[in-house]
Amino acid sequence: MATKLELVTLPDKLLRKKSAPVERVDDDLRKFLDNMLLTMYEAPGIGLAAVQVGVPRRIVTIDVVNKEEDREVQDPIFLINPEILWSSDDVATEEEGCLSIPDYYAEVERPASLRVGYIDREGRKQEMAAEGLLARCIQHEIDHLDGRLFIDHLSKLKRDMVVKKFAKAARDGTKPVF
């Protein structure tokens, strides 16, 4: 049985920490992957980095199918030590959100397609091409591994507004309203 983990949200400084590589893929790690996946599904979200559940290691779970209404169809991807090998000059702009920045959404420009190298949950080296929502999600999650958030892609004015609202809400014991 998987366990739902607690999400780390702004203004927690852990979100700014660079995650360390995973050295070994074993049963303990696979158990953690299952816990991450359950946490992501229940949030609900389409991507989650380990640092978002308090573990600053280079681990990502993604399921862009989870965005659809039909939650019966699941297609999880586990990326361990992911690395972008190539990204397109073509860019795309779409709205993004983040489980660590609840209720805030903004348009972000990113390369439209990419190739990513990673270790899978069996410990095998893999490569994958991605475009559209999957490419966006992979970039968003790898940003997390480097302590970067999607608001870092916005203007300083917008970013400061978001950070201030979360800091104030944390002080007041409330939730920020956008």
* Segments in 46-145 forming alpha helices (H): 132-145
Q: How far apart are CA 135 and CA 151, in angstroms?
A: 18
Tell me whether residue 59 or residue 98 sits nearer to Ni ion (CB atom).
98
By CB neighbour count within 10 A (0-12 exposed, 13-18 middle, 19+ buried), where does 16 fall?
middle
Catalytic: 141? yes
Check residue 77 for interaction with Ni ion (CB under 5 A).
Answer: no
Q: Which stretch binds Ni ion (CB under 5 A): 6-14, 19-27, 95-103, 121-129?
A: 95-103
Total residues in contact with Ni ion, by rule CB under 5 A:
1
Piece of 74-82, 97-105, 121-129, 162-170 that binds Ni ion (CB under 5 A): 97-105
CA distances from 138 to 12, 49, 157, 171 (A): 22, 10, 26, 32
Residue 106 within binding range of Ni ion, rule CB under 5 A: no
139, 150 contact by CB (below 8 A): no
Residues facing residue 57 across a β-bridge:
20
Least CB distance from residue 15 to Ni ion, whole Å? 9
Specify the stretch interacting with Ni ion by CB under 5 A; choose among 6-14, 73-81, 96-104, 122-130: 96-104
Under the binding rule (CB under 5 A), the answer on residue 98 touching Ni ion is yes
Looking at the Cβ atoms of 45 and 81, the one nearer to Ni ion is 45
**Coil vs helix vs strand at 66:** helix
Hey, which residues are catalytic here? 141
Q: Which residues bind Ni ion (CB under 5 A)?
A: 98
